[in-house]
Each structure stands twice: as C-alpha cells, then as structure tokens.
C-alpha cells in the first residue's frame, strides 16, 4: 500500500493579544483535521499571539502566558493529529520566534527562526534572538523541514534542511500584503523548490492588524515548481492536502487551486479587510464619515459599506456657504446608491460663531487659509462629537497624494481612527472607483452596480473652502503630482533623476519641500491600510524636523 500523509492547512485570522481566542481557533482547526483523518494540522507564524506583536512580545508575562497556552493546547489535543503552531519561546533569557510541534499531549519539538527580517514593516532584530539553523522534525512517516517565513527567503536554511533529511518543507508565515507580493513569494519559493528538490508548503495567515493586512494566498509546490494547491486571497480557509510517497520522494497530490485577484481587486479587498478587522478587533461595529460629494469620501463610503454592511455606516454632509448644489446632490446620490444613512449638519452657524469670537483678535488681517482651516476643523469637531455620542468610529478620507504633500488639515479633515485609502494615490482613487462600479464579489457587503455616480468621478476635485476653489490651484495636476511622488516616496529617487526624466525642476523642488514639511502631520495621522512597499509609517520613517533639501536638480 502506498504511504500517505494528510496535512491540514489552516489559513486563519488570529488577533494580536487574544491568546484564548487564537487557541480556540487552533483547536477548532485541529478538530476539523481530526475529522478529516489528517496526520497534522499546520497554523501560521506567531499564531498564538497574533502578528505582528511589536513590543508587546517584550513583556515577559505576555510571553509566558503564550507559552502556557500552547502547552495547554497540546494537553487538550492529545488524541488526534499533530499540531504545528507559531508562538514565542523563552530559552534562558533569549526570546525566540518559534514554531511548536505538539503531539500526544506534549510539545515534541520547537524550531526557532534564524533569519530575522529588519526592513520595511519588520523590526525583529530588536525583539528576537536568532535561532541556530536546524534540521527536520519527524511527524509520523515524514521528516518535515520548517523554515519560518524569512528563513525561506534565503537559500541556506532550506539547503541545510534538505541536506539533513527533510522530505518536505513547511513554511509558516506572517507575510503582509503589498501590491504584487504574491508573485514575489511564488518566484522565491519556486527557487527554493528547484534548489532542494523538495515539495514546499507556503502557509500564510489572513486578516488585518493595524495598518497591515495579511492576504493568505497560501500554496503548495511540487518539485520543478508545479503548483498543486492554491488557497484564496484575503479569506480564511481550511484545506487538506495529501502527500504520497513515491520512488522519487514525497509528492503533493492535486488539491483545489483558487484563482487569485488582479491588482485592482487585491488592493480593494485589502482595504475592505483592513477596515473590517481594525474596527472589529478594536471593538467597533459601526463607522461614520464626512461625505462631501467628492471622490475620496465616496470611495471610503463604498469600502466601509463593503466591510461592515451599509446599515452600519453613517454618512454626514456638513455644508458651508461654499458647498455647491452639485456636492449636496452627489453626496445624496452616493449614500442612496450604497444604502447608507445620510445626515446633514450645516457649519455656517458654528463658523459665524467662531468668526465672532476671534474677530477682535483677527481685526485688520485678511481672510485666508486660517479661515479655510476653521471650516475643516469645525467639521472634524462635529464628526468627532457624533463618533463619541454614538460609538461609531470616524473614518478619515485623505488619499496618499494629499497626505504626502500635507494638503489636509490637522485636527480637521485628518480627524478619525482609520483611513482605508491612506496608501492610495489620487490617480488610483479614480480608477478604483471605476473598478468598484464595474465589479462585485461575494465578500462585499455593499450592493452591486454603480455605487459611485460618474459625475463624482469626473468633476474637478475641490475642497470647497472658498469660492471657486480647485485642488489644482495649490497642487500640480494629479497625474503629474503622483508620478513625482512615486519617484520621491516609493522609489526614493533624487530630484535630479526626476528632472532628467522630463519633470519640471521647480515643480519637483516644490513637491519635495511639501513632503518634508508635512512629516509632522503624518506623524499624527490615523493609521491606514498598507498597499505598497513605501506606505507612510513603518515603511518610511523620516524625522519631523529636517533642514536638508535635495539640491541635485539645481
């Protein structure tokens, strides 16, 4: 009889700090694996604590609680398949990122992460000690090599595992999403498979944690890089994969292959998951936002409706004397198409009251940006009052272009607890609205069809803080601005490189100056879903006070 090994892949959504809840998820997966006759159920990196824990894992009491939870899980799941689960481990005074194997009521092995990532959103070298390169672990008939996440991005750990007798590679991950990340992962894992000649299981978690979204999309490869299983992106899944002993070694048998989303759908799904989990894991079930009749707030309203359901989203129009009739109509049309509640709270009265209060001090000065910002701050005040009164998290709606150059008002339109479009440039906002109008998926809780009227997408953007105002009065056209920002922010290019590619020298210098001057605003801004490798926060850490300017273009 041909020897087989059934491995259950648990692509699940843990919550940072919820040890009991995460263990309950693991136990439920183990029960399903036992019912399916599996030999082992595998969970992801740092599953018991959730990921990323950041400095929470430096609390020794937290680590001890996590280790005790894993040992209780082992005792509770003695009769059935083995469990592989990620969690911290104290070895003397060294804190390790570990992967625990549980079988027969006890811990049978613990593998420690060797390569600690220290770039982009990761800072593991300040949290963990590096483990020694290790050999495989036996589970039933199989010798399983376990390179933890970053260990699989380098050849040495996998090569050592193959040389010391591993028959398959299991890679437990906490790998966050950024655009085109899946292709990067698959290409690297194909390289590891070609180098070692072993089947490889890439198991990734799903769900949102702060600004990061873990996109799942786990997969299984056979030697020569043949794809044998592909789990869905951004959704939980429990899949049983069978391995069979052959004359050439163990091989994965075919399992379901789920089609992966294109880049537009992936970004949109990431924003929905990021918002849903940030609210849900923070204890919120409802959201509100200022719906201006513009494109940014319309997209945030659509994302919120898809994440929470239209009935859980309150939209608020806050008109002033400068608000156009079109904006009132467009806000109403968006709320109506989405099925969200729309309230209206005018700010003319509060604006007059503030003007009267400050009048004696402002006497003799010309109206300008100060008066414009008062309007934005009054809106922020009123929206925060509604948030406090009704327990609805306020969403802020500034796109990456605005956040980059500070075209936003601190304590005004920047007020809020979360910003799903924070890492989406304005030009992509336009395209994302068109994508959402043309597509609907089962994971969307909002309605199908045209939920953002074309007039909202096509009209010139305006903050409507003074008569006839347009964004391009203060900024370059968004197509130009975004191309410059992608160079300065996403690729860290010099001003000279951008000028050499044809951009106007004065415009590049102005944009760079605005980026540096706005660092303090971004430091105080709400978190938002990370979509790129250079999102504002952990990916890009600049000083708030900085007198250096790039003069290479001069």
pLDDT of residue 469: 73
Question: Do 428 and 478 meet the contact criterion of CB atoms below 8 Å apart?
Answer: no
pLDDT tens digits for range 158-193: 999 999 999 999 999 999 999 999 999 999 999 999
Three-state DSSP at 394 gives strand
Do residues 446 and 306 share a domain? yes
Do residues 112 and 187 share a domain? yes
**281 annotated binding-site participant:** no
Does residue 538 form part of some domain?
no
State the Cα–Cα distance between residues 508 and 25, nearest whole angstrom.
Answer: 51
State the Cα–Cα distance between residues 276 and 237, nearest whole angstrom.
Answer: 18
**93 annotated binding-site participant:** no
**295 annotated binding-site participant:** yes
**142 annotated binding-site participant:** no
**294 annotated binding-site participant:** yes
Do residues 138 and 283 share a domain? no
Does residue 491 form part of some domain?
no
Where b means 16+ CB within 10 Å and e means fewer, 104-121 reads eeebbbbbbbbbbeeeeb
Does residue 500 form part of some domain?
no
Which amino acids are annotated catalytic? 45, 113, 149
Question: Do 452 and 332 meet the contact criterion of CB atoms below 8 Å apart?
Answer: no
State the Cα–Cα distance between residues 170 and 137, nearest whole angstrom.
Answer: 11
Do residues 33 and 142 share a domain? yes
**426 annotated binding-site participant:** no
Domain boundary among 438, 471, 504: 471
**347 annotated binding-site participant:** no
**292 annotated binding-site participant:** yes
Do residues 273 and 217 share a domain? no
Q: Which domain holds residue 386?
A: 264-471
- Return the CATH number at 354: 3.40.50.620
**402 annotated binding-site participant:** yes
**279 annotated binding-site participant:** no
Does residue 186 form part of some domain?
yes
Do residues 98 and 204 share a domain? yes
Do residues 110 and 226 share a domain? yes
Domain boundary among 455, 471, 487: 471
Taking CB atoms within 8 Å and a gap of at least 24, the contacts of 505-512 are: 505/553, 505/554, 507/476, 507/480, 508/484, 508/553, 509/549, 509/553, 509/554, 510/476, 511/405, 511/476, 511/481, 511/484, 511/485, 512/488, 512/549, 512/550
In angstroms, how far is CA 224 from the centroid of its own chain? Answer: 32
Whether omega for the bond prior to residue 52 falls within 30 degrees of 0, making it cis, is yes
Does residue 392 form part of some domain?
yes
pLDDT of residue 464: 63
pLDDT of residue 324: 87
- Return the CATH number at 58: 3.60.110.10
State the Cα–Cα distance between residues 543 and 520, nearest whole angstrom.
Answer: 8
SS (H, E, C) 228-243: EEECCECCCEEEEEEE
**9 annotated binding-site participant:** no
- What is the domain count for the chain? 2
* Torsion, CA 496, CA 501, CA 506, CA 508, rounded to 10: -70
**409 annotated binding-site participant:** no
The model's pTM is 0.95
pLDDT by residue, tens only, the chain of 554 residues: 679 999 999 999 999 999 999 999 999 999 999 999 999 999 999 999 999 999 999 999 999 999 999 999 999 999 999 999 999 999 999 999 999 999 999 999 999 999 999 988 899 999 999 999 999 999 999 999 999 999 999 999 999 999 999 999 999 999 999 999 999 999 999 999 999 999 999 999 999 999 999 999 999 999 989 999 999 999 999 999 999 999 999 999 999 999 999 999 999 999 999 999 999 999 999 999 999 999 999 999 999 999 999 999 999 999 988 888 999 999 999 999 999 999 999 999 999 999 999 999 999 999 999 999 999 999 999 999 999 999 999 999 999 999 999 999 999 999 999 999 999 999 999 999 999 999 999 999 999 999 999 999 998 877 766 777 777 777 899 999 999 999 999 999 999 999 999 999 999 999 999 999 999 999 999 999 999 999 998 889 898 999 888 888 77
Do residues 233 and 378 share a domain? no
pLDDT of residue 3: 94
Do residues 354 and 310 share a domain? yes
Do residues 344 and 400 share a domain? yes
Beta bridge partners of 395: 418
Do residues 291 and 331 share a domain? yes
Do residues 157 and 186 share a domain? yes
Does residue 305 form part of some domain?
yes
pLDDT of residue 17: 97
State the Cα–Cα distance between residues 410 and 521, nearest whole angstrom.
Answer: 7
């Amino acid at each position: 009889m041909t020897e087989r090994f059934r491995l259950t892949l648990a692509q699940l959504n843990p919550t940072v700090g919820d040890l009991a809840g995460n263990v309950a998820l693991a136990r439920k997966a183990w029960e399903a694996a036992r019912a399916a006759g599996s030999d082992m159920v595998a969970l992801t990196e740092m599953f018991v604590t959730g990921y990323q824990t950041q400095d929470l894992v430096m609390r020794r009491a937290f680590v001890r609680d996590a280790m005790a939870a894993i040992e209780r899980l082992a005792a509770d799941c003695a009769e059935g398949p083995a469990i592989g689960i990620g969690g911290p481990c104290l070895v003397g005074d060294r804190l390790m990122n570990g992967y625990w194997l549980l079988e027969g009521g006890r811990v049978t092995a613990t593998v420690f992460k060797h390569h600690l990532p220290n770039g982009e959103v990761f800072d593991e070298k300040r949290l963990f000690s590096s483990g020694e390169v290790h050999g495989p672990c036996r589970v039933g008939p199989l010798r399983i090599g376990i390179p933890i996440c970053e260990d699989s991005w380098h050849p040495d750990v996998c090569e050592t595992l193959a040389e010391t007798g591993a028959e398959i590679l299991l890679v437990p991950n906490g790998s966050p999403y950024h655009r085109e990340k899946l292709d990067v992962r698959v290409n690297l894992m194909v390289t590891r498979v070609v180098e070692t000649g072993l089947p490889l299981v890439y198991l990734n978690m799903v769900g949102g944690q702060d600004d990061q979204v873990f996109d799942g999309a786990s997969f299984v490869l056979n030697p020569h890089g043949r794809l044998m299983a592909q789990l869905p992106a951004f959704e939980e899944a429990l899949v049983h994969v069978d391995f069979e002993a052959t004359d050439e070694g163990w091989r994965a048998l075919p399992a379901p292959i789920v089609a992966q989303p294109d880049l537009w759908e992936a970004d949109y799904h990431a924003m929905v998951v990021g918002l849903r989990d940030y609210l849900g894991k923070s204890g919120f079930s409802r959201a509100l936002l200022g719906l201006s009749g513009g494109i940014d707030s319309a997209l945030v309203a659509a994302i919120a409706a898809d994440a929470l359901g239209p009935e859980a989203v309150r939209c608020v129009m806050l008109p002033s004397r400068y608000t156009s009739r079109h904006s009132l109509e467009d806000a109403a049309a968006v709320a109506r198409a989405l099925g969200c509640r729309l309230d209206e709270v005018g700010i003319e009265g509060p604006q007059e009251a503030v003007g009267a209060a400050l009048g004696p001090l402002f006497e003799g000065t010309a109206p300008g940006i100060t008066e414009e910002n008062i309007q934005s701050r009054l809106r922020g005040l009123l929206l925060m009052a509604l948030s406090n009164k009704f327990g609805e998290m306020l969403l802020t709606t500034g796109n990456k272009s605005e956040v980059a150059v500070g075209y936003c008002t601190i304590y005004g339109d920047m007020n809020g607890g979360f910003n799903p479009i924070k890492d989406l440039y304005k030009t992509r906002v336009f395209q994302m609205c068109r994508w959402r109008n043309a597509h609907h998926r089962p994971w969307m809780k909002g309605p199908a069809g045209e939920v953002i009227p074309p007039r909202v997408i096509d009209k010139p953007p305006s903050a409507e803080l003074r008569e006839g105002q347009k964004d391009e009065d203060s900024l370059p056209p968004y197509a130009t601005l975004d191309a410059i920002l992608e160079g300065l922010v996403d690729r860290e290019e010099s001003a000279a490189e951008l000028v050499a590619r044809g951009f106007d020298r004065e415009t590049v210098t102005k944009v760079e100056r605005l980026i540096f001057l706005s660092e303090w605003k971004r430091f105080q801004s709400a978190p938002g879903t990370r979509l790129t490798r250079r999102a504002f926060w952990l990916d890009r850490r600049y000083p708030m006070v900085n007198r250096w300017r790039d003069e290479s273009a001069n």
